[in-house]
Amino acid sequence: MKVCILGNGLTSFTLAKALINQGIEVDICSNVKLKNYSKFQTLGITKSNIDFFNKNILNIEKIGWKIHDIEIFSENLLNEKILNFNNRNEHLFSVIRNFDLYNSLYLNLKKNKLIHFKKDSNYKDLIQKYNLVFNCENKNIISKKFFSKRIDKKYESYAHVTTILHKKISANNTASQIFTKDGPIAFLPISPSETSIVYSRKGGKHINFIELIKKYNSKYKILKINDVFSFELFSSNLRNYHHQNIIAFGDSLHRLHPLAGQGFNMIVRDIEVVVDLIKFKKEHGLDLDNSICLNFEKKTRSKNYLFSFGVDAIYEFFNFESKIKNKSFAKTIKYFGKNKFLNKIFTKFADKGIIY
């Protein structure tokens, strides 16, 4: 059984490692150089996804920093805390550098005989050549020909990302997010002395991010602010998940606003579905075929749409809250945030997505 993955980014390597762990031979095809991820970009992986990652893909405990609390503030209430999420028994999620995760996966894949890295510009024979093809690229000929219909939303915003070095905090395990009038700014600890900052700000690409960090930082004694990486924000959901034996995957399938840090988590959940489908085939002595494409879409499409809608609804909700000057709205959010049942539901939604 042989599978092809188009693309050589973080999603491609994560999927490839999950597949070879199931004994599947994988060709990774791409016409571009290996990704050069910034050391200042980070991602958050929820606890349930970390558990799946460690068991079914690669143990990444050593490169992640565990977060035990999440605090939400509103500028309308003079940066007063309106929501708080924590789990006394377990951590909520881990913050990992994209650079570290990518390199860990790549070094591991290079050693495996089931993996073959190929530069292949001829995608015409893919359908006949492989049992399955996973397209993790947005702009190749496969995407343009078979996966061009999508639901897009532009936020007229840019995400600005960096890390700060600060005086050591022994228990730097609390993530915080402030909903400002121009967009949310998140502080995500990476170590006792380093914290990642993501500011999703309305308007143009060029801002004085350093001054904004100083304005909204009330916790850290900053020693150094590293280079800033910026990119435009939009959400996207593909209408069709597959064509014959080709499955659209990763950001080419769905992309979210970084508000809730759920983009890569959705991808890991999709990989879990793929792994379960392959296990079923193997247990019953069946070959991989396009029935996996059909079942993958059946199991994930509606949940991914609903989850994407939920993240967008959260963005619009807090976007509205930040625009109005009436403090009563933020106080209402704070009141409902104290409800243990609602708090538990939201925490589960963030950790495991939509389950039914």
Quote the pTM value: 0.90
Among all chains, which residue has been given the structure tokens 């959705």?
Answer: 266
pLDDT at 327: 63
Query: Where does the pLDDT of residue 196 fall: very low under 50, low under 70, confident under 90, or very high at 90 and above?
Result: very high
Q: What is the average pLDDT value for the chain, to the nearest integer?
A: 86
Q: Which residues pair with residue 1 across a beta bridge?
A: none
Confidence check: pLDDT of 345 > 70: no
Rounded to 5 degrees, φ, ψ at 16 are -60, -45
Long-range contacts formed by 78-85: CB under 8 A, 24+ apart: 79/178, 79/216, 79/218, 80/330, 80/334, 81/334, 82/330, 82/331, 82/333, 82/334, 82/337, 83/333, 83/334, 83/337, 84/337, 85/343, 85/346, 85/347, 85/350
pLDDT single digits (tens) 20-72: 999 999 999 988 777 778 788 899 999 999 999 999 999 999 999 999 999 98
Residue extents of the structural domains in the chain: 2-352
pLDDT at 118: 86
Q: Both tokens of residue 224? A: 């150094």
DSSP β-ladder status, 246-248 and 132-135: parallel
| Angle CA 82–87–93, to nearest 5 | 90
Q: Both tokens of residue 309? A: 């809608």
Question: What does the DSSP 8-state code read for residue 170?
Answer: T
Round to the nearest angstrom and report the end-to-end CA distance of the chain.
31
Domain 2-352 sits in which CATH superfamily? FAD/NAD(P)-binding domain (3.50.50.60)
Q: Give how far the C-alpha of residue 265 lies from the chain's centroid of Cα atoms, to the nearest Å.
A: 5
Confidence check: pLDDT of 356 > 50: no
pLDDT at 58: 96
Is residue 218 within 8 A of residue 174, CB to CB? The reply is no
CB atoms within 10 A of CB 33: 8
pLDDT single digits (tens) 315-343: 787 777 666 666 666 666 665 566 666 66
Rounded to 5 degrees, φ, ψ at 104 are -65, -45
